[in-house]
A and B are shown apart, each in its own frame.
Chain A
């Protein structure tokens, strides 16, 4: 079974999509503020298959920015939760080398909150500013 991303079930709805995490809703609001069109989890990339062809591992990047042909994944969770995400990203690069994806890591997200005076929301969004 070869790699074929699944674009067939876009999750964007007419209103706000059901974001999986408050940080995603905040990031979407920021993109919209600056007039950058986005789609929420519009594509699922199969990453591994069972012998019978069933997809056993897949990855749906959080955002797609059509104007820039760019996927964005928020990686704001704790380090202990990042191992699987990093593994998926490495596999995505192997199977879909032409797909452009950028990570917003926890540090970048913290800086965004600071820059826009939103650091008081950090506990709600990412569990607090955690830099040393």
Chain B
């Protein structure tokens, strides 16, 4: 186990309080990218004490089935308009920043009033594309983690903690 339930709860509550202060009086929309963020976003949403809306976006993932020359596409678009609104993009984990870079570019093109990033787990040592993170739950090093929404081949999302996946489970 890397991060236990109590530690997760305390940090998410602190993030919620910080976000509530920073966005008081603003039209706040949380946007989560499916599917790993579901549990973190649900807890974060309940820790925010100001009026807030929520929406989800989905993108295709790179993988063995992607043909040569394939490009990322939206598998689920937002249902809420974001023009002129204060968007807080919520992610479960950020490593290289390749995926997030695409998503932020997509959202920025829709002219939100502001666009910030909140991430539960930041693997900064792996970062290739520099991205400003406004709210960060925990810094990670090299660990390949699962649980609290994060999966490996769609497994382990339901673990209530964040744990390091043993190499023999790859």
Interface residues of A (CB under 8 A from B): 29-36, 65, 68, 70, 72, 102, 104, 107-108, 111-112, 114-121, 129, 131-132
Contacts and interface: CB of A to CB of B under 8 A. Distances in A.
A32 B69 contact: yes
Given A33-B62, A33-B71, A117-B64, 7 more contacts: A29-B68, A32-B71, A34-B62, A35-B105, A70-B128, A107-B142, A111-B144
Contacts of A30: 62, 98
A111 B126 CA distance: 9
A13 to B, nearest CB: 16
B72 to A, nearest CB: 5
Interface residues of B, number: 30
Contact of B62 (A116, A119, A120): A116
A116 B130 contact: no
B170 A35 contact: no
Contact of B101 (A34, A72, A104, A114): A34
B66 interface: yes
A104 B130 CA distance: 14
A112 B96 contact: yes
Nearest to B61: A116
A119 B128 contact: no
Nearest to B99: A34
Contacts of B142: 107, 111
Contacts, number: 69
B12 to A, nearest CB: 23
Interface of B: 61-64, 66, 68-72, 95-96, 98-99, 101-102, 105, 123, 125-130, 142, 144, 152-153, 167, 170
A40 to B, nearest CB: 16
Contact of A33 (B66, B125, B152, B170): B66
A36 B101 contact: yes
B129 A68 contact: yes
Nearest to A16: B68
29 contacts: A29-B68, A30-B98, A31-B98, A32-B69, A33-B70, A33-B72, A34-B71, A34-B72, A34-B98, A34-B99, A35-B71, A35-B72, A35-B102, A36-B101, A36-B102, A36-B129, A65-B129, A70-B128, A102-B127, A111-B95, A112-B95, A112-B96, A116-B61, A116-B62, A116-B64, A117-B63, A117-B153, A120-B64, A129-B167
A11 to B, nearest CB: 20
Contacts of A120: 64
Contact of A119 (B66, B98, B123, B170): B170
